[in-house]
Amino acid sequence: MALVVLAGAVAGGVVLHQRGALNDFLCGGDCGDRYVSEPEALRAPGPADQTVSAVPPASADATAVARAVESASGQPILGPHVGVSVRELDGDELLMTSPDAFIPASTTKLLTGYAALTTLDPQERFRTTTVLDGDRLVLVGGGDPYLMATPADRGFAARADLATLADRTAQALVEQGVTQVRLDYDDTLFTGPADNPTWEPSYASQNQVSPITALWVDRGRIDQRRVEDPSGSAAGIFAAQLVERGIAVGEVQPGQAPVDAAPVAQVEGPTVAQAVERMAVTSDNGAAEVIARQVALGSGAEPSFEGATSSIVAALESGGIDTSGLVLRDGSGLSRQNRIAPSTLTSVVAAAELAAPQLTGDLPVAGFTGTLVERFVGLAGRGLARVKTGALNQVHSLAGTVTTADGVVLTVAVMVDQADVALALDARAAVDAVVASLAACSCAA
């Protein structure tokens, strides 16, 4: 009986792990692809498979692709405005059902990720530092999207925390004979408004995104709720941590670090590549906006919403991507004023295969990871699609890659922005079904 109970518990644990239900316990949030058993359909051949010599077909038949998509994309639940684009990995477009640009929601993050990985050094790390100017200690934000308050808070992709910086800072100050400081905090790396004027006012109350600054901890939240002043909140936490370590802290206020201030300590956050991975897997809005501003800095533009979006567009155009109809107001996709054509999304994915191949590997796996853990249930696309999700009221979109039944890898984008609000889950499932129709298709040329 004991063995039966144990076997049942193990089997149940495996199922829960595959569904992502243990992520909070194991990883403090979504665990990312590296912690999930690889779907059989995506697993590379092992030694036992070496006798199979068949090479997967490299191209698809456009007629077969159109037939598969037509059978799924005409569902009334999707509404009157539906766009689908399908491309070969080499960039040749096999199908475009609409040239229109749609409200993209979070598929916008594909553009932000592509721009970050092609504009910035993917291995560069975000740094948060302290410097000393007389008796004035300055906490300088480096635009780390995943800086945490304590090591215990660290999740996937979070590598730096204020408590560790306080340890290093206090030790360095004591070695210099300094035990009392005033504390300034410098978040001037970014400019422009912290809240996007095109965002819905409800985003604040719904906890969708915190004000975007170059200095925050825990993604601008305390107890998972956004704060009005992320920079000041981070400085207050840091001041308390210094006091705990024997450093008396006087007035805490905003201020800019002098260029000749003496370095005291620093912590290094994730690499650009790690931050993009986390953003893509979890569809992290705040991180997307911080990364977009880093793209602006890397491009020599003003690190504001406007500078970030213009830099993203410039990166796409440098990569030879058609930006017809493209309108960007942010890097996350929260703005309903954004417009992206399905063809642009598939172009970004195809271009990334050469210029930033990590990007497609970062995307959630249908039915297994990130924002797709509970989707594609019972559909052919489960384990065969890596796609970025997007959702706002009436808006549902997917964009990424899908492997057909006969092994052709295609880039796909499905976009709707006039779906019935009252039937949102049904509309979302219908979008999934379009991608699944390609996974079930014998589309080889």
- Catalytic sites, residue numbers: 106, 109, 283
Sheet with 136-140: strands ordered across: 248-254, 180-186, 136-140, 125-133, 262-271
Label residues 11-35 b or e (16+ Cβ within 10 Å = b). eeeeeebeebebbeeeeeebbbbee
3-state secondary structure the chain: CHHHHHHHHHHHHHHHHHHCCCHHHHHCCCCCHHHCCCCHHHCCCCHHHCCCCCCCCCCECHHHHHHHHHHHHCCHHHCCCEEEEEEECCCCEEEECCCCCECCHHHHHHHHHHHHHHHCCCCCEEEEEEEEECCEEEEECCCCCCCECCHHHCCCCCCCEHHHHHHHHHHHHHHCCCCEEEEEEECCCCCCCCCCCCCCCHHHHCCCCCCCCCCCCHHHEECCEECCCHHHHHHHHHHHHHHHCCCEEEEEEECCCCCCCEEEEEEEEEEHHHHHHHHHHHCCHHHHHHHHHHHHHHHCCCCCHHHHHHHHHHHHHHCCCCCCCCECCCCCCCCCCCEECHHHHHHHHHHHHHHCCHHHHHCCECCCCHHHCCCCCCCCCCCCEEEEEEEECCEEEEEEEEECCCCCEEEEEEEECCCCHHHHHHHHHHHHHHHHHHHCCCCEC
Residue linked to tokens 């009392």: 180
